[in-house]
Every structure is written in structure tokens, then in C-alpha cells.
Amino acid sequence: MSLLVVGSVAFDDVETPSGRRVNILGGSATYFSLAASRLHPVQVVAVVGDDFGPEQDAVFQGRPIDLTGLVRQGGRSFHWRGEYGLDLNEAKTLDTQLNVFADFHPALPESHRHASCLFLGNIDPHLQMDVVRQMASRPRWIGLDTMNFWINGAREALMRVLGEADILFINEAEARSLTGERHLLNVYEKVRSMGPRILVVKRGEYGVALFTPDGMFVAPAYLLKEVADPTGAGDTFAGGFMGYLAATDNVGLETLKRATLMGTVLASFTVEQFGTGGLESLSDNAIHGRYAAMHDLIHVVRA
């Protein structure tokens, strides 16, 4: 199944208890595509400015990532500045400069309009909807990410695009804010009534809770001795998850559970280093090793 992501390709300034980096490559479509491409080819639709040069381009090269849909425009790329305290589960945004993203209206190349898996990264829900409308045929899977900024600021547009989505990827606090519910079973009921059949609640270092009509699955994060930078963990997770779906024909609950473990494993490599460093240097062996370790971490022999 072909896989398409629409989101941001950006520059980040990040400060965490482990250190500080400026002007590093980031953005939802960046993390998503670097993760997904380990499992399946992926097409990227995004916009960058003229500060996106050969150094950034090189990160995507040599991988099955199609940048035909990456628009290069005069001006500066989207820029995010944030920091994390000792609680690594939540970023504090210090500054957001939309730059070329401000007037971005994604126009899908003809070759991208037939994707069977579509991931709508965390951008303005109006743009997310615009992308859905450009699809020539209804994708098998539409995954969507969002955040408080849109939940509070563009709720109607968000509700419309949620009505089109199959899978909602969302942070736990934002899932509560979206639905007004405290407990995840109730959150899922509300989310289902908004459209998505499948809900993935991202819980930071506590892992992920997956809700589907056929059953639930709660998985911890992979345990690490150090976390350098949590930025991109959620988009990496979504990339691993959707990449796994795109690479698999069977789409039952077991596939969704394994997709959850794969997303978890890839996210563990992202947070070990600043920016995309952990994904760039990653070997297939390392992925398979952690995937097996995740199984061990949660496995109990049925008594």
C-alpha cells in the first residue's frame, strides 16, 4: 500500500536537561518519513524555505522517501523553539515562526493522489481537510495527529477532518482536552462518535494505549538509560505505526498491536539523541533487537 505524509519539515531549537541544539532538522513530516521509510516507501508533502540546503536534503537521501511533493519556496522554513524540564513528557514551546508555512496550501502531485495510507501531521485542520479532498480515491487508512492549539482554536474544522479519519494519534492530555473525559475508555467512546474507529493515545515515557473496535492494547515505552531529546517521538511513533500498516496486508487487531510495538521501538531511537540523529544512524539489526526486547518486556505466559 502506498504511503503519504503531509506535515512540516522544519528547523528546531531545543533545550533539554541533556543539552541544547539550535537550527537542527525537525518537523512532523521529517520524523514521520524517516521512521516510516524503514518499513515502506513514503511520499512527503511539505514546504521548506531557502534555508533548507544540501545538508538537510542529505538526511532524506538514500532512503525510500519521495520528495517530489516537497515545495521549495523563498523565505525561511518553519522554525520551532522549545524546551523540556525534568519531566520529559511535555515540551514547553518558547517560539513558533510559521515563515513559509504561513501561506502553505498543499497541492498534491497527481502521483500522490492515490495513496492507500495517508498521514495528516499536526497542522491546521483546514489544510488537513484540503489534502483529504485532493485524494482521487478514499485511502484505506487516514491517520491524523492534532494538538491543543487546534482543539481550542479551530475546533469546527478539526471536527470536520476528524469525521474523515480512521486513526487519531493524540497525546493523553490533549485527548482529555478534546473529549472532556478523564478516563481513556470514555475518551475512546467520544472519539469514536467524532469519526475515528481507532485511537492511539500517546503517553510519553509511559508508552501508548491503543483502542480499536476489536479490542485494546496498552504498551509501555521501551526503557532507556538516558533520554536526550523527546522531540519527534510522537511523529516517529506514527511513522513506525503507519509504515507497518502500509507494509502489511492483514489489518486485524494483531497487526495494529505490532504496529504499536514498531512505533514504540522507532520512537525509542529518536529520543536517545537530539533531533533526527537517532533515526539517521539506525541499523535494521538495532530495530529488530529492540522489537524482540519489547516483546520480552510485556510478555507473560498464560497460566
Measured CA to CA, the distance from residue 256 to residue 247 in angstroms comes to 12
Q: Among 186, 251, 281, 289, indicate the residue that binds a second copy (CB under 8 A).
A: 186
Min dist. Cβ of residue 282 to a second copy (A) = 20
Q: Return the residues of window 253-282 that contact a second copy according to CB under 8 A.
A: 254, 257-258, 261
The residues, ordered by sequence, that sit 6+ positions from 289 with a Cβ below 8 Å of its Cβ are none
Min dist. Cβ of residue 177 to a second copy (A) = 12
| 285 binds a second copy, rule: CB under 8 A | no
Measured from the CB atom, the residue of 163 and 215 that comes closer to a second copy is 215
Residue 4 pairs in a beta bridge with 43, 118
Min dist. Cβ of residue 264 to a second copy (A) = 11
The residues, ordered by sequence, that sit 6+ positions from 65 with a Cβ below 8 Å of its Cβ are 33, 34, 37, 41, 42, 43, 44
Measured from the CB atom, the residue of 61 and 193 that comes closer to a second copy is 193
DSSP per residue, 6-55: E---EEEEEEETTEEEEEEEE-HHHHHHHHHTTTS-EEEEEEE-TT--HH
Q: Return the residues of window 71-100 that contact a second copy according to CB under 8 A.
A: 86
Q: Among 182, 213, 283, 284, indicate the residue that binds a second copy (CB under 8 A).
A: 182
| 218 binds a second copy, rule: CB under 8 A | yes
Residue at grid coordinates 539506525:
282
| 216 binds a second copy, rule: CB under 8 A | yes
- Residue 263 has phi, psi (to 5 degrees) of -60, -40
| 251 binds a second copy, rule: CB under 8 A | no
Range list of β-strands (E), the chain: 3-6, 10-16, 19-26, 42-48, 65-72, 78-83, 92-97, 117-120, 141-145, 167-171, 198-202, 208-212, 215-219
Kindly report the number of other CB atoms within 10 A of residue 98's CB atom: 16
| 249 binds a second copy, rule: CB under 8 A | no
**Which is nearest to 209 in space by CA: 260, 263, 254?**
260
Measured CA to CA, the distance from residue 157 to residue 141 in angstroms comes to 20
Min dist. Cβ of residue 75 to a second copy (A) = 40
Q: Among 58, 136, 224, 251, indicate the residue that binds a second copy (CB under 8 A).
A: 224
Min dist. Cβ of residue 60 to a second copy (A) = 28
Measured from the CB atom, the residue of 77 and 260 that comes closer to a second copy is 260
Q: 3-class SS at 294?
A: helix
Q: Count residues binding a second copy (CB under 8 A).
A: 34
Measured from the CB atom, the residue of 109 and 252 that comes closer to a second copy is 252
Measured from the CB atom, the residue of 7 and 234 that comes closer to a second copy is 234
Site residues for a second copy per CB under 8 A: 86, 182-186, 203, 206-207, 209, 215-220, 223-227, 254, 257-258, 261, 295-303
